[in-house]
Amino acid sequence: MGSISTPYAKERPELADPRARGRWWIDDRGRFIEHSKIGFNRDARRTAFRFMGMVEIIAERMALRVRWDVASASNDAIIAAGLFLSTRLKSARVTLEFYWGAWNLEILTRNSNALVRMSELASFRAIEPFKGIKREVRPIENVREEGDLLRHSFELWDRNKSSFNIESPHNLGKMAPYALSFRPREHDGQLIFDHIGEHSGSSRIFGPEWARNALGRSCGRSQPDYEFEDRVCDAYHDVLESGEPMVDHIRGIIRRDGADPIWVPYRRLIVPTRNRLGAPIVVSICDIRQDLTIPFMVAE
């Protein structure tokens, strides 16, 4: 590992430029290799991360993305990535995307913070993550401390409890791009998707095609991971029955068809209201973010 202290100085001197742009893989000896050497398909990338212990680097002038598998990455590759990160501008925006039971994404605004985080993550190499769903109900009286999106949405609801009309830009309609709404199905009372905002947390996770197909489907059966949906959908029934708003924090893994699982952490506001026809519905606003009361890196 003696040569790892200067992983690119001799072979790739251009990488020492703090504004260097490009894409590379770092192999298990800490060497930077051309990004095109690894195929972009899922199997090739999975092999690179989990069986070859590689780290992926994507660099822009003021931003950097680092991807790796916490349990499988070579120590030399991690050290080389850290050394490269240390040469970047201090104000560079760093995105850490790492696999620990599922893919997780964290954004840091200084490279020094990213280096500290990468060092912390190395200690979880041999720790098995808890892969269940964790949920914590938060005091509704503290909703204004739950971030701008939930605070603003709650205040809109608190002033305009009458109806949620997605066609109106006034009152609760302002929430529509970020909201999900559910209404009871007539024959069995199951909650079904009535509206899915294009900027809602679910649309961000599953994409616009899922959103189109999910309309009219049961809340608990809109995507392959039924276990996740069953846990998070119960709260919608509770709010509909109680008529009271609710805030919770949720952290869990979502399993997706044809893709690796991902960690999904979010804060959620659920409010009761009525649609434009006067029928009772519930509206949900989710804010995907890492800073929850539920800790992340916890062993099983």
Q: What global pTM score does this model have?
A: 0.85
State residue 17's pLDDT score: 76
State residue 3's pLDDT score: 37
State residue 228's pLDDT score: 61
- C-beta of residue 96 within 8 angstroms of C-beta of residue 73: no
Count Cβ atoms below 10 Å from residue 214 Cβ, excluding itself: 20
State residue 2's pLDDT score: 36
State residue 4's pLDDT score: 38
Cα–Cα distance for residue pair 65/70, rounded to 1 Å: 15
pLDDT tens-digit profile, the chain (300 residues): 333 344 555 556 566 677 788 999 999 999 999 999 999 899 999 999 999 999 999 999 889 999 999 999 999 999 999 999 988 888 889 999 999 999 999 999 888 899 999 999 999 999 988 878 899 999 999 999 999 999 999 998 888 776 777 666 666 778 889 999 999 988 888 899 999 999 998 898 888 888 888 888 888 766 655 556 667 888 999 999 999 999 999 998 888 777 889 999 999 999 999 888 888 999 999 999 989 999 887 654
> Half-sphere exposure (CA, 13 Å, Cβ side) for 284?
32
State residue 227's pLDDT score: 59
